[in-house]
Structure 1
Amino acid sequence: MTTSALEPLAGRRCHHPLNSLHATHYFSPDLGREMGALGITHPRAVNFATRAAALGPVGAGAVTAAFYNYRHDLVARHVPAVWSVADPADVLAARLRAVDATLRRLLGEEALDSAEMAEAAGLALRAAEACARGARPLYSAHADLPVPDEPHLAYWHAATLLREHRGDGHLAVLTSAGLDGLEAIVTHTSTGRGMTPTWVLATRGWSEDDWNAAVERLRERGLLDGEGELTGEGVALREDVERETDRLDLAPYEHLGAQGVARLTALSSAFARSAATAGAFPADLIGKR
């Protein structure tokens, strides 16, 4: 194990491209095709089944709790009914096929067969060795899955472990900060780095009235101003949330060491840029409006 001191924010900077690489399949037509072949066709059912399958055939309550920022009645429209359409094991296999097709299309065969991809997989898997299971349901469920043999799929698997590990910790911090699921989204969107309201309302089950009510609650707390922008107190709260999330997510990156983290960040950033350039994400996904 390497114990080199990390630079501030090194883990967060490494997480961002890993998270982007993981997320490519959510917007991929390959996922819709593979899930459609199982009989799962509604976009929300595809999303819930794909991400929750590692948990097994759980009910709506478990999915709402683990996902945090979806309206529960939307989840309940599709879960647990989706498990009567396809078994979680079949969903997981379909997801991996979709990821394989997506990465081949976005990155190309040369990148998938490269020494850099194999190196990225090794580094990310090494970092994931230090992830903790306690109070991290999505990470822990994915940690029970086998590591794929192909380097690009092993890399995606490790990126998923690191993404869900940070995400589970992040939800604990949001709860401690007194931000419910929609308030967390509204404040993130207000930073300019979260999903646009249009995408949130289209995918999370919330209405405009729900959004406006959350905005009003945040104004009453002094976190948003009259224009819906973060106040100084709101900016400070978001910064505190990210710093505490960093602290809870530090172990994998300390385990990998400063040199390994820097190298994994560089490799992951290059792959993430290539995927984005190839059209992995909708152009209107991120922003305040």
Structure 2
Amino acid sequence: MCGIVGLFLKDQKLEGELGAMLASMLCTMTGRGPDSAGFAVYGAGAPGQVKLSLRAAKGYDFPALAQGLSVPADGVPALSIRGTHAVIEVPAAREAQVRAFLAARHPEVAVVGSGTRMEIFKEVGLPSAVAEAFALPSMRGTHGIGHTRMATESAVTTAGAHPFSTGTDQCLVHNGSLSNHNGLRRSLAYQGMTFETENDSEVAAGYLTWRMKQGASLGDALEAGLKDLDGFFTFVVGTESGFGVLRDPIACKPAVMAETDQYVAFGSEYRALIGLPGIDTARVFEPEPATVYFWERAQ
């Protein structure tokens, strides 16, 4: 049992309140999974630049790392430190080089995700403590997703917390359990994919990544998952332009959505949504099973 939330803003006037709204939704779901929590926020991005969300031990010297990544043409990369995580911004053309440098010289630093706008943060602890540690209420953006975990398939670790990245500016949170994740993990590993944890949700994220590397769109990859992923699940996925929802064909895990002229919101339970503005007049509905939903902003 886990709690997942998602919030997509239609009204630009609410962008400064995204973090506070998402934090309230996430903390309301504490009872569904108090061992760890995480979230992804989609904020401002610069053309030609990529943000790398990094994770390391408490007290890690991220400024020294940024200095080590500097080059004469670009200078020291922009750096934002939040708790045990940091977001470092580098030219997109250098992303592969930076990743290779980190893997070879700084294996103690994990790359949690990357994208023009996406920033991912996750940690062990209650959602309220995680939200405070990363200053989620102060964050602004257009949309975000979050997860509070009750570990069932792997140990309680930061690496095992959600979201899991599925590609550039894409990530996934999951409520449920997959019965065939071990076999699927072995199959994906044979295809060259690597995994940090025994978490079934990381396998789901890896599966979507693999499908998209074969040329499928994210929507097509989710549709294919209805056949290839055995178990019960609700996925909320974040993308650069919006977020999507998919429930398994049985849809035994709880899920509720609300839509107004200002936002679209998802929660594992309705109580996650009751603090949102205009919820009393929102169109509240339960997403249909085996149906891919997407809400996106105009490009």
Above 0.5 in TM-score?
Answer: no
TM-score, normalised to structure 1's length? 0.29
Q: Give the structure with the higher percent strand.
A: 2
TM-score, normalised to structure 2's length? 0.28
Does 1 or 2 have the higher relative contact order (CA < 8 Å, sep 6+)? 1
